Structure 1
Amino acid sequence: MNRREVLKGLGALGGVLLLNENLLAKEQTQKLILIKNAQVFDGVNLLKGAKDVLIENNIIKNVADKIDETTLKDTTIIDAKGKFLMPGLTDAHWHVMFAASELDSVNLPDPGLFYANAINGARDTVMRGFTTVRDMAGAVFGIKTAIDSGIIYGPRIYPSGAFISQTSGHGDFTPVTANTDGCCECSGILERMGEFKVADGVPEVLRAVRQQLKKGASQIKIGVGGGVISAFDPLDSIQFRVDEIKAAVDAASDWGTYVCAHVYDDNGINRALDGGVKSIEHGQLVSEKTVARMAKDKAWLSLQPFEYNEFSPAPKSPKGAILNKAWRNAVKYAKKHNCRFAFGTDCLFNPAQAKGQNFMLCLFASEIGELETLRLATSNNCELFKMSKNRDPYGEHELGRVKNDAYADLILIDGDPLKDIFVLSKYEDTFKVIIKDGVIVKNTLA
């Protein structure tokens, strides 16, 4: 990484902090927002006729045919003029810490650029209209606190904390020559930074899970199968014994939440289900028989549309090629057997791919249609997020809906994604207003 790239990253951090002055000023003065004459998709259905939507602080107070603005004081009024209003988008498998960085930024002597990229990436995420993400690995707790406190821009975050892996598993990035006595100096840099955690045996798994819960994890993520970016584990390998998986599930259950498992194929998925896992992350190589079992066990299939396109070129690894377009079969099986499935992207260590977050969502429309795709990325994903129960950091109000008493996370779009889903992928031009937690973060209509 050259000096120009380092300065660019630090400049981005300064830009975010400068923008924050305007954000805080808005938060101090902005109490009421009235959006008038909008075509409203409420997260489930398209409402009939034009609607007005009133926001008070960070909550939607009223959705009605007509709201009398003359009765409102100190109100920001946005005339939608028939534009399309919908809930903010959600991503059920995002990586706040990794999406905006190349892998080599992790290996710098000081991790400052890595964190600066994450902060800038969080801002970019919400500017793409993604107002909530379920973070599936990373020491994201500080950034989450900064976002929730209004210090920086970014989406709501459901954090998993460190990704928990066995030795030789998907989260073990130590070289094969490393000492295996567990000393900190010999652990991988990502583990030392709190992004991953290697654990072997029930006691170590319990400790690792409890550490993440202590830090504020909404759910726990473990590795039960091989991965693409990890060097030493074959894609078909099964990771963690059933007793280790059950230990993770028990520890999470004691805190009222659940466990997610990184895994692609039947053998690993069934191992995860045997241990009580409720969210299968990836699963592109799943068979119809196993999907039927998932539906019976009330487990979710958290899918990412991995296939080669302008944002995701063909990987050099043969492991990556195996997954190309395999997600489409998984969707068909899930629809047939009424297995709940979620949308995510899993962009990491590839900033160019992260810019295609919206495009990846649009790919689902070719399998399930435009309406179901919008539901998938709004109210449907939020049903999965609710599985965090008492660990849900945003459980006080509803997410993914445009309705009374829901959180005010909204996008106003010039175009109709129910007719052309790809207006979502042209977000820089088509997203005219973005509101997150009742704060206008973008408004080109003013």
Structure 2
Amino acid sequence: MNSPWKIAFTFSALLSMPNIAPEANAQASPETLFKDVRIYDGKGETLSAATSVLVRGNLIAAIGDSISPASDAVTINGGGRTLMPGLIDAHWHTMLIRQTPEQMLFGDVGFANLQAGAEATATLMRGFTTVRDMGGPSFGLKQAIDAGVVAGPRIWPSGAMITVTSGHGDFRPISDLPRDGSKPLSRVEELGGAMIADGPDMVRQRVREQLMQGASQIKLTAGGGVASPHSPLDVSTFTAEELTAAVEAASNWGTYVTVHAYTPAAVRRAIDAGVKVIEHAHLVDDDTARYMVDKDIWLSTQPIVPEFFAGMFPPGSDQAAKADEVMEGTEQLYQMVKKYNIKTAFGTDVLFSEAMARQQGRMLTSLTKWFTPAEILRQATSTNSEFLALSGPRSPYKGKLGVIEQGALADLLLVDGDPLSDIDLLAAPDQNFLLIMKDGKIYKDTLPD
């Protein structure tokens, strides 16, 4: 007769058993040798001289001119092209790109999942081998990617973004009020896109629920949002006690809280509660920017400019007016990043637009208004990798990303040209990324024979 201990152990093993599946659309070999490549290592200002890089399994095993690969190694002649780390997007929504808001609220879940899988593959084909998901039910998609069912980037998932009644992420109609426990969860909550939490105890519960599902960090919406129907930009949502409860719950799991916030008041309240990262911050003032530096806070922000975001909302709508206000703050924000050397991660924050997602690389190169090509490349590789490490033991992938050095994970792009001299190469990945490798596996190879 099975003992309760044996039954419990067996059940636990089943829960943690990985799915076995072939890698989707990937070519793998024990060793891959890149010959005649010039390296952008993720940190420097120049490319290396022509050299070789050996990948063994999913790691960079050796760099140099005197490498002796195994007899069955695949050899790739780079022809003097640039080998660089895979790109990292620090603010992405893997589940919410190809849906419309109407589909999210009323559409079929199965169709939404298939859309997200297709977009994950497209993201990888744009050279973004890692994304940090900032709100949405991405746990299943991450599992499918990691198991090889779908080709896509590594995902650092947040799970549902946590908000308050009337906050950014609360899409309920007014007819659903009051919320007294007699009404079911809203559609967005049922799907795991957002969770509404009022009071410190409920905030702790919602944070712990995301951690239980595998969240690598926790996202709260500490201020108003552009797309939300009920939250003006100037409002501060969570109380200090609620923010502190979230920080405590995340810290107990060895990870951190990041908050959606635009204004000085929302940013300062979050920092004072122990929050380590601010998303957006397009409306902060000079004093608040200095405060972020003094408190060693990371900024995760995006080039929210008319080139990409104009026309997202109907002219004359409240959302359009809020979008205009945020876009107007972008220039000043990046000026303060440069002035005070704020630790800054690059992201894009694309929502509900496959067409905009295709501009992911162009959004990165648009930073030339404020940064040099070397600074831009560093931000989307080694800096973003350092940023991801804030998740500590909750990081879903063990190993170093964003650099080309011995022992680092083999997420690599072979670029037809020198992105330090021509950063716009990154804006046309279909043409210029001839080979894409993630975790030592080749997902794209269009090199001439």
Aligned position for 1:263? 261
Cα offset, 1:179, TM superposition: 3.5
One-letter amino acid of the structure 2 residue matched with residue 383 of structure 1: E
Structure 2 residue corresponding to 1:346, chosen from 325, 344, 349: 349
Cα offset, 1:107, TM superposition: 3.6
| TM-aligned CA distance change 1:418 to 1:209, over 3 Å | same
Q: Does 1:358 align with 2:356?
A: no
Aligned position for 1:34? 33
Could you tell me how far apart the structure 1 residues matched to 2:329 and 2:179 are?
Answer: 39
Aligned position for 1:383? 386
Q: Does 1:410 align with 2:412?
A: yes
Contact 1:224 1:262 in 2 (8 A): yes
Aligned position for 1:203? 201
One-letter amino acid of the structure 2 residue matched with residue 62 of structure 1: A
Gaps of 5+ in 2: 1-20, 315-319
Could you tell me how far apart the structure 2 residues matched to 1:78 and 1:185 are?
Answer: 60
Aligned position for 1:86? 84
Greater mean alpha carbon deviation, residues 159-168 or residues 357-366 = 357-366
| TM-aligned CA distance change 1:242 to 1:311, over 3 Å | closer
What's the % identity of the aligned pairs? 42
Could you tell me how far apart the structure 2 residues matched to 1:311 and 1:361 are?
Answer: 14
- Give the secondary structure class of the aligned counterpart of 2:427: coil
Runs of 4+ more than 2 Å apart? 20-27, 65-68, 107-110, 179-188, 310-316, 325-328
Q: Deviations over 1:260-303 (max 9, x none)?
A: 00011111111111111111000011111101111111111111
Could you tell me how far apart the structure 2 residues matched to 1:251 and 1:74 are?
Answer: 49
| TM-aligned CA distance change 1:109 to 1:410, over 3 Å | closer
Q: Deviations over 1:237-277 (max 9, x none)?
A: 10100000000000000001000000111111111111111
What TM-score do you get using the length of structure 2 for normalisation? Answer: 0.91
Cα offset, 1:311, TM superposition: 6.9
Q: Deviations over 1:14-39 (max 9, x none)?
A: xxxxxx96747734xx1111111111
Cα offset, 1:48, TM superposition: 2.9
Structure 2 residue corresponding to 1:253, chosen from 241, 245, 251: 251
Structure 2 residue corresponding to 1:137, chosen from 135, 151, 158: 135
Could you tell me how far apart the structure 2 residues matched to 1:376 and 1:354 are?
Answer: 19
Aligned position for 1:6? none
Q: Deviations over 1:80-138 (max 9, x none)?
A: 11111100000000000001222222244531111111111100100000001110001
* Superposed counterparts of 1:45-124, under 5 Å: 45=44, 46-68=46-68, 71-124=69-122
Cα offset, 1:356, TM superposition: 0.8
Contact 1:38 1:51 in 2 (8 A): yes
One-letter amino acid of the structure 2 residue matched with residue 430 of structure 1: N
Cα offset, 1:308, TM superposition: 1.4
Cα offset, 1:185, TM superposition: 5.2
One-letter amino acid of the structure 1 residue matched with residue 64 of structure 2: A
Q: Deviations over 1:160-200 (max 9, x none)?
A: 01100000000111101104335585432111111110000
Could you tell me how far apart the structure 2 residues matched to 1:204 and 1:250 are?
Answer: 13
Could you tell me how far apart the structure 2 residues matched to 1:295 and 1:314 are?
Answer: 33
- Give the secondary structure class of the aligned counterpart of 1:104: helix
One-letter amino acid of the structure 2 residue matched with residue 418 of structure 1: L
Could you tell me how far apart the structure 2 residues matched to 1:110 and 1:99 are?
Answer: 15
Could you tell me how far apart the structure 2 residues matched to 1:408 and 1:258 are?
Answer: 27
- Number of aligned pairs? 422
- Give the secondary structure class of the aligned counterpart of 1:35: strand
- Give the secondary structure class of the aligned counterpart of 1:368: coil
* Superposed counterparts of 1:204-353, under 5 Å: 204-309=202-307, 313=311, 315-316=313-314, 317-353=320-356
- Give the secondary structure class of the aligned counterpart of 2:275: coil
Cα offset, 1:312, TM superposition: 5.2
| TM-aligned CA distance change 1:182 to 1:210, over 3 Å | farther
One-letter amino acid of the structure 2 residue matched with residue 252 of structure 1: A
Contact 2:279 2:299 in 1 (8 A): yes
Contact 1:24 1:151 in 2 (8 A): no
Cα offset, 1:337, TM superposition: 1.7
Structure 2 residue corresponding to 1:368, chosen from 355, 367, 371: 371
Could you tell me how far apart the structure 2 residues matched to 1:315 and 1:140 are?
Answer: 25
Greater mean alpha carbon deviation, residues 98-107 or residues 30-39 = 98-107
Could you tell me how far apart the structure 2 residues matched to 1:182 and 1:427 are?
Answer: 50
